[in-house]
Amino acid sequence: LINDVDCDGSVSDGVGDDGGDGHRNGDDDDGVDDKDGGDHSNGDDNGASDDDGDGGDGPSDDDEMVMPMMLVMVINRWLSITVSLINENFVKLSITPMTQRVACELCKGAAPADSPVVYADRAGYNKQWHPTCFVCIKCSEPLVDLIYFWKDGAPWCGRHYCESLRPRCSGCDEIIFSEDYQRVEDLAWHRKHFICEGCEQLLSGRAYIVTKGQLLCPTCSKSKRS
């Protein structure tokens, strides 16, 4: 049983391994504090305070702890924001045997009473799937035990969910976050990747031909046809 991840980045009670990951930031805090504490202890053992003889003019241990503690607080704040953003649009899958059965959302067939069914928190617990029927609406990739996204009333895999938000470069296969890119029909490229696949010359501002998803200059296109 895999518990759901909440939108704010917290993990529900009763989590096993996921619960440990959910509190990893807290463990890092302890690690930083202990390390700093070890450094101050070494300084005391070496007698650095006695050698100075300034009568307390130098920085105290509390003063030296201010910057590391502030740094830890900033890092943890950034990590919590990042986790919150990551978990905003998806949750983890939960599989459990159910006593009350409803028709599978995909195939509309009923599940045997002794077999597990899949339910997604974003869909509501009145919707269930056979484990083999819980797939991406675009590519039919099985999503059991994987991170899934919920959009337009259906589960999505990560790849196609991202493509529904931003275009994917046909040259490097990465999501394009910049607004400055080249689009031809339903295909898109980063500006630097808008090149001929034959001779690799940059085609921005030049003639080009797209054939079966392949971007070519007129010369390479002609040579491929001959």
For the segment 154-168, what is each residue's pLDDT rounded down to a tens digit? 999 999 999 998 999
E strands in the chain: 90-91, 94-97, 116-119, 148-151, 154-156, 181-184, 187-190, 209-211, 214-216
Indicate whether 91 pLDDT > 90.
Answer: no
pLDDT class for 106, splitting at 50, 70, 90?
Answer: very high
- Between CA 92 and CA 72 the distance in angstroms is 29
Higher pLDDT, 167 or 122: 167
Closest CA to 25 of 78, 70, 65: 78
Higher pLDDT, 102 or 27: 102
Average pLDDT, the chain: 69
- Between CA 130 and CA 118 the distance in angstroms is 6
Indicate whether 107 pLDDT > 70.
Answer: yes
Q: State how far the alpha carbon of 212 is from the alpha carbons of 24, 50, 53, 146, 187, in Å.
A: 47, 78, 80, 32, 11
Model pLDDT, residue 127: 86
Model pLDDT, residue 124: 79
Indicate whether 48 pLDDT > 80.
Answer: no
Higher pLDDT, 60 or 88: 60
- Between CA 144 and CA 133 the distance in angstroms is 9
DSSP for residue 147? -
**29: number of CA atoms within 13 Å, CB side?**
13
- Between CA 1 and CA 216 the distance in angstroms is 50
Q: What is the pTM of this model?
A: 0.50
163: number of Cβ within 10 Å: 15
pLDDT in tens, 129-142: 888 999 999 999 99
SS3 56: coil
